[in-house]
Chain A
Amino acid sequence: DARVTQTPRHKVTEMGQEVTMRCQPILGHNTVFWYRQTMMQGLELLAYFRNRAPLDDSGMPKDRFSAEMPDATLATLKIQPSEPRDSAVYFCASGLVPDGRSYNEQFFGPGTRLTVL
């Protein structure tokens, strides 16, 4: 049963601490997305990778957020230092996009619920 996995599922931390969220995309998928969901803003795209290369991180606060794909089976999203306004649910999604195209169906992981006190 292929699915996107994310860890941790829940994280409570104090302001100023580093937070790392991990995502394992579906095996064989060549695109990875990070989204953030809040009540006020809904679902927002934070970052996008294709074939492990970061192609768009314009949705992230650059001074504190960073996203990487150390290998094809792992994507990470780090916040350092964390702030209370970062409290949200962070979703990872992956998809298999054919050559010559930019889009295809995206499959979402269960999310990481982050609370920054």
Chain B
Amino acid sequence: GIQVEQSPPDLILQEGANSTLRCNFSDSVNNLQWFHQNPWGQLINLFYIPSGTKQNGRLSATTVATERYSLLYISSSQTTDSGVYFCAVGDSSYKLIFGSGTRLLVRP
């Protein structure tokens, strides 16, 4: 099955800093989502991005499917950005395979 690797596993930022989270996957995908799991445990959809680039406020994501990676950019980080960021990928089936996440702490 598809392997998903996220880096870095942990990240500590000062409020206002920018960051880039990476998701590598081992095979071609038709489905890729980025989620933020907040400190209350809720999984929030950030991007549905099997290819291309999208932006939503301070967040943006790019997936280069041919090179098997996706990047999530967080600019001007805020304390509310803290939590775990998951990348999940799928081939042509319904299954999403989740990475182990990047744990982000933004300090005031």
Contact partner of B41 (CB less than 8 A), chosen from A50, A97, A102, A111, is A111
A residues 64-97 touching B (CB-CB < 8 Å):
89, 91, 97
Asked if residues B96 and A102 are in contact (CB atoms below 8 Å), the reply is no
Interface residues on chain B, size class: 20 to 34
Q: Please give, as numbers and ranges, the residues of chain B lying within 8 Å of A27 by CB-CB distance.
A: none
Q: Please give, as numbers and ranges, the residues of chain A lying within 8 Å of B94 by CB-CB distance.
A: 31, 33, 48, 50, 55-56, 97, 102-103
Contact partner of B92 (CB less than 8 A), chosen from A43, A50, A102, A106, is A102
A111 to B42, CA, bound (A): 7
Asked if residues B45 and A107 are in contact (CB atoms below 8 Å), the reply is yes
Residue of A nearest to B98 (CB): A43
**Total chain A interface residues with beta-carbon distance under 8 A:** 22
Q: Is B30 an interface residue (CB 8 A)?
A: yes
Residue of A nearest to B44 (CB): A108
Q: Is B83 an interface residue (CB 8 A)?
A: no
What are the interface flags for B81-108 relative to A under an 8 Å C-beta threshold, 1 for contact and 0 otherwise? 0000010101011111010110000000
Q: Is A61 an interface residue (CB 8 A)?
A: no
Task: Report if A103-B90 is in contact (Cβ < 8 Å); known contacts: A108-B43, A108-B45, A113-B41.
Answer: yes
Asked if residues B43 and A45 are in contact (CB atoms below 8 Å), the reply is no
